[in-house]
Structure 1
Amino acid sequence: MSRSPNASGTEDEEGGVPRWVKISAALAVLLVVVFVAVHVAGGGMIGHTP
């Protein structure tokens, strides 16, 4: 069942992970995926090798 809105019109927080933690984790995963994709494509760290 879905949670019903409280008096202020927002959903009750009954535990669980806060929204900002979910967003931060999603951004971190996205950055890792982009980093890996760039390196697999051969474009990573050019100019950083001796």
Structure 2
Amino acid sequence: MALLVTNLTFLLVVVLAIVAPLVLYVLVRNEGQEETMSREEAERAARRDTDDRR
């Protein structure tokens, strides 16, 4: 019985070691696929942020 638990634990660790980096890769890759602003839109948004704090 102890050997079975040891083998299952080892298998779980191996699967997590393989799956976790792949999940992180997909999350990071999808992070940059948002719509981007033009430079003018970004400058307007930055001005609005600073104007709100006055």
Higher CA-based Rg: 2
- Give the TM-score, by structure 1 length: 0.46
Question: As a proportion of its length, which structure holds more helix?
Answer: 2
> What is the TM-score with the length of structure 2 in the denominator?
0.43
